């Protein structure tokens, strides 16, 4: 589904991603872990071109999205993204937050978007918040809305950048539960997280990033039971 070839990214003369080649299959749940500053967010943001790669190519379902000929907006709509800090529109109701993009991009009419909002809000247990504003919600509720908002665009893949890192501990579970449900439904997911339980339970593959490289990867059981690289072992000893 996503084919990354020789991807490098520099900010000025700081090389942040160093010649990464990686494939993500449809239905995979790829969990990315690694120390702060290792390039996890930059890698995720390159996948939907929120960052422009310095070199290399990214192909999404056969379309090279790094090609100047590609309509980036059209491709980006197929990739939902959820951020650490929710990024909801503060001046809009929850319903409007969810329906704005699908209506504005003409993916659907307002009535259909409203229906979808109603259905999804029910699924994440937030039906009564449709007419509330983001400021009236807890962090966990805001993040569940951010997930719903991304899903309303009917994406083919969901990218999550530390979706629970800004949450109080008691709210982490409610967000991870929504993500687990999504995984069970077969969504293709790429998740940057420090939640090792989630990586173990939900991940089909764990990638360990360090210094702009994917240093090591494996299926979760083997990854956590038998890490091979010393830097992976050191990292895991700090987070587990
Ligand atoms: P991680 O998500 O693993 O913590 P990031 O991808 O955010 O790492 O950052 C990797 C490196 O790139 C860091 O050294 C960071 O300071 C740098 N970096 C990230 N974004 C920018 C930017 N927009 N401008 C300059 N440097 C950046
Ligand atoms: Mg990051």
Q: Predicted ipTM?
A: 0.98
In order of 9, 51, 144, 182, 208, the CA distances from 193 in angstroms are 21, 19, 16, 16, 11
> Could you list the pLDDT tens digit for every one of the 240 residues in the chain?
999 999 999 999 999 999 999 999 999 999 999 999 999 999 999 999 999 999 999 999 999 999 999 999 999 999 999 999 999 999 999 999 999 999 999 999 999 999 999 999 999 999 999 999 999 999 999 999 999 999 999 999 999 999 999 999 999 999 999 999 999 999 999 999 999 999 999 999 999 999 999 999 999 999 999 999 999 999 999 998
Describe the strand order of the beta sheet including 29-33 as a list of residue ranges: 79-82, 157-161, 188-192, 29-33, 205-210, 213-218
Kindly give the number of the ligand 1 atom that is closest to the alpha carbon of 12: 25
Nearest CA to ligand 1 atom 6: 39
- Give the DSSP H/E element, type plus range, for residue 21: strand 14-24
- pLDDT in the model for residue 240: 83
Could you tell me which residues come within 8 angstroms of residue 239 by beta carbon, excluding any fewer than 6 positions away?
A: 33, 194, 196
Give residues with Cβ within 8 angstroms of 189, minimum separation 6. 28, 29, 30, 157, 158, 159, 160, 179, 182, 183
Ligand 1 centroid, distance to 90 Cα (angstroms)? 26
Range list of H helices, the chain: 40-47, 72-76, 94-104, 110-123, 139-151, 169-184, 196-202, 220-225, 230-239
Distance 52 CA to ligand 1 centre (A): 13
Report if pTM > 0.90.
Answer: yes
- CA of 45, closest atom in ligand 1: 6
Instruction: Determine the atom of ligand 1 nearest the C-alpha atom of 161.
Output: 2
Q: Going by CA atoms, what residue is nearest to atom 24 of ligand 1?
A: 11
Ligand 1 atom with the shortest distance to the CA of 39: 6
- Collapsed DSSP state (helix, strand, coil) of residue 4: strand
Ligand index nearest the alpha carbon of residue 51: 1
d(Cα 5, Cα 220) in Å, to the nearest integer? 24
Contact 8/42 with Cβ under 8 angstroms?
Answer: no
- Which residues make up the environment of ion ligand 2, defined by Cβ < 5 Å? 40-41
Ligand nearest to the CA of 10: 1
Pocket of ligand 1 (CB under 6 A): 11, 16, 34, 36-42
């Amino acid at each position: 589904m996503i084919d990354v070839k020789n991807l490098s990214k520099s900010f000025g003369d700081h090389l942040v991603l160093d010649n990464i080649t990686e494939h993500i299959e449809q239905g995979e749940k790829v969990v990315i872990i690694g120390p702060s500053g290792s390039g996890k967010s930059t890698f995720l943001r390159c996948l939907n071109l929120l960052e422009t790669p310095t070199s290399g190519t990214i192909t999404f379902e056969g379309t090279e999205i790094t090609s100047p000929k590609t309509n980036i907006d059209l491709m980006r709509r197929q990739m939902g993204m959820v951020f650490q800090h929710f990024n909801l529109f503060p001046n809009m109701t929850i319903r409007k937050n969810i329906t704005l993009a699908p209506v504005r991009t003409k993916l659907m009419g307002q009535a259909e978007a409203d229906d979808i909002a109603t259905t999804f809000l029910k699924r994440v247990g937030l039906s009564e918040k449709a007419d509330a504003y983001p400021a009236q919600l807890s962090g966990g509720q805001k993040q569940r809305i951010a997930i719903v908002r991304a899903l309303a665009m009917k994406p083919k893949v969901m990218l999550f950048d530390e979706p629970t890192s800004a949450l109080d501990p008691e709210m982490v579970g409610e967000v991870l539960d929504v993500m687990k449900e999504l995984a069970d439904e077969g969504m293709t997911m790429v998740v940057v997280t420090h939640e090792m339980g989630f990586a173990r339970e939900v991940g089909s593959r764990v990638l360990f990033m360090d210094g702009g490289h994917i240093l090591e990867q494996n299926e979760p059981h083997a990854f956590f039971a038998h890490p091979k690289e010393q830097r992976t072992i050191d990292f895991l000893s700090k987070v587990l």
